[in-house]
Each structure stands twice: as structure tokens, then as C-alpha cells.
Amino acid sequence: RAIGGGTQQALSGLAPGSYTLALTALNTSGKTATVTTTLTIAPLVIPQSAGVALDGTCDDAAYATAPQLPLAPYADGAQAFVRLVRGGDGLYACFVGMKRTGGTSPGTLAALRVDTNYSRDAQPQPGDYLFVLGEDGVIQTYNGTGSGYTTPGPSGASGQVSANATTWMAELRIDASVLGGWGRVVGLDVEQAWVNAVADDYFWPHRATWNNPGSWGAASLGDAPQISAVAPTSAPVGSGDTLVTVTGSGFAAGTVAQLNGTALATTVISDTQLQATIPAANLALAGTFSLAAVNPGMESAPSNALPFSVTNPLPRITQATLAGKTLTLTGSSFASGAMVQFNGTDYPAAGDGTQVRVIISDADLVGSAGAPVSVFNPQPGGGVSNVVTLGAGTAPGGGSSLYLPLVSRP
């Protein structure tokens, strides 16, 4: 969907996940050009903190560094926020800056929904819980039924509220055992509901819906690992099984390294170091891949990723022969996607690692005596080969021009 125009746009309230952004430029002549890019938002990590008091004021020091989720803005542009922390054996959610309702009890509602097994179903299932704290201080819980919710839901939830003349705060606490414990990923959405009327609701994620767990955000109830270095950072294309060392923090027993999301055979050396083997099958083609780590039970919340490159070699030409319009290059290390440059024009090469051919245009054949010829292998790695040029006379057999390596001496 369109998000606006101009040189900058702010994106807010998106659920964790990957998004494709299309950027379109328009010039004064009315011509347009569009490029696309991928935006990835990591799962929400809810930190562990000490000293959280359930008092409805949300002024505990633990909340100062907690992630702050913006609810969708009200019509006047104002927004409420929700802060989340794990304190001891409970999940705390504190709603701040919510508008008060003009209605009667229970008034407007603070709601938190949890998809405890992160199944992302299209309808609330048993184990998808709803916790509601009213402006009147009354808490209610609900459980999914497969098509909606039923009450009562689980026990183990408590809450407190506070208010001034125009806004109110709500603080919820939910036992970790209700959510299945720590060290896992859940789906989560938070909401202020019924602000001025039933269905006048304001969500995070902004595009979430109350009855679709698949639209909720991924939240980590544990610390995700972090990686800071990979060694080596690359391997030549065609390499055999390659051992890499991953340095970082937060590794645990059972942590697994992943290459583009595929698990690698991994040995945990310590909480700061892993060793993983990249199979030869993953090194058959050049490219740049993402290497990350995941802790057990946290597969939906991997670490940050660092690049690992499978690099093309530098090509070399030993002979170039032009027969009619067909230029044949013989040599070594010609890579998939290689380009031949003849007389200043690039041609896609066809062939294998030791011989490639291109068809030269008539325009480039005109005055081509002495024209330079080279091969370029694409990145990662790769680069430009040695240059060959037209030698004196014709190639053996007649009718063909023979190109010889161009050698420069100091």
C-alpha cells in the first residue's frame, strides 16, 4: 500500500518481519523509475529486569530502558505507548498516555493478546490468550476457541490502574508459567479498545486485528544471541567443507549457526564462541550469504546476521580466436555470469570454466585490429583478467584472427 511521498518517510507500528519497499522517483518530464528493496524488522526482545512494582504508575526504573511500542495514533495525532519487561517470573505490560473515555464503567480498555505457541493461526485457538484491564481497574481473561474468545481464560494475571483528568495508565502482570515460561517466542499484540465507542480501537502492530494471531508481532521472551565476527569471512567457489568460527555473546547449549536460514553442524565452544561447518554443496556457486545464530526454542528470533561470501576467482586468458563473428576465449577460472569486453563493448559469455564464446556485433568488428579483449568475473571476488590483443598475421588454419596475451614489462 502507498505510504506517502517526498524524500523521506517514517514507518511506524510495523510488526516484525520482512517487507518489500518500492521506491518510485518522478522527474519534471513525468518519467518514473522504480526500485525495490527489502526491509527486515527483527522480533521484539522483551528484556529481563529487576525491581518491578505492580502499582499502575509505570515509573519503575525497569521501564526506562524497556521497549516502547506506539499504539496507532488517535485522530488528533496523540499516541499512547506500551512498555514491556520481564520481571522475575512475570511479564509486565504498562500502558501509558491512554485517553480517558466519556462513557461509564468499565470505560476504555487496555488489552494484551498472546499467541503462546506462535502458531500464527488465522483465528484465535486454545492457548491464544486475551488479558483485558478496564479503566475501572477490573481485569478479565479470555481463551481462544478456534473462531473467537471465551471467558474465563487462564488465571495468573493481575493489574493496577492510575489516572489524571485526561489520561490513564494500566499495568498488567502475567505469570510466566501461563505463557509457557521464558526462552521462547510468542505472538503479541497490545491495544487500547473502546476509546469513544465499541470498535474504536488502537493497536500495535498498527495493522493487527483482534481475531487474527497471524497479524500480531513476534516477541522474544528470552535474550537473543548476538554475533560480532565470523572467521573466515569468505571461501573460494568450489571449496570443500569449510569450518568457520563465530564470535559473539549469549550462546547457549544447543545454539545453532544458520547460513541463509539453514542450520549448520555446530559446536558450542563457549557462551561467546561457536564453530560451524559450511558444507561444500553450499559453496558451489558464488554469492553473499547471511550467517546468524539461534538459541534453542528461539528459532523465530535469530541473532543479527553477518555476511559470508563465496568468491569467484580472477579469470585468465591464454588465447583468443576470432572466427567470423565468433570470439572464442581459452583460459582458466571463467565464472558463471562472466562478461567479455571486446573493443570497449561488454558481451555476456557462454561456456565453461576454461572456454567461453561470444558473438561480436558488426559495429565492433569494424576497425577491430589491435582491439583489447578481457574477461570480467562478477563479485563477490572476481575481477578483470589479463588483457589480450590482436597479434600479427592470422591464426593457423586461415580465416581467423589470433589474439595473444598483452605483456607489459617494467
pLDDT score recorded for residue 402: 53
Decide if pLDDT at 293 tops 60.
yes
Looking at per-residue pLDDT, the higher value among 57 and 130 belongs to 130
- Report the pLDDT value the prediction gives residue 309, as an integer from 0 to 100: 97
What is the pLDDT of the chain when averaged over all its residues?
90
On whether both 248 and 292 belong to a single domain, the answer is yes
Domain count along the chain: 3
The Cα–Cα gap between 265 and 403 comes to 49
CA distances from 212 to 145, 149, 300 (A): 12, 11, 19
Q: Is the pLDDT of residue 15 over 60?
A: yes
Could you tell me if 7 and 32 are in contact, meaning their C-beta atoms sit under 8 angstroms apart?
no
The arithmetic mean of pLDDT across residues 246-270, rounded, is: 96
Taking residues 317-336, report their average pLDDT: 92
Among 1-15, 219-233, 353-367, which is the least confidently predicted range?
Answer: 1-15
Cell of 20: 518489500
Q: Which domain holds residue 366?
A: 316-405
144-159 tens-digit pLDDT: 999 999 999 999 999 9
Contacts of 10 (CB under 8 A, 6+ apart): none
| Whether residues 204 and 116 fall in one domain | yes
Q: Determine the residue type at 323.
A: A
**Residues near 364 by beta carbon (within 8 Å), at least 6 away in sequence:** 342, 343, 344, 345, 371
Q: In terms of domains, do 62 and 48 share one?
A: yes
Does some domain include residue 350?
Answer: yes
Domain containing 268 — which CATH number? 2.60.40.10
Residue 23: per-residue pLDDT: 84
Same domain, 136 and 54: yes
CB 318 within 8 A of CB 385: no
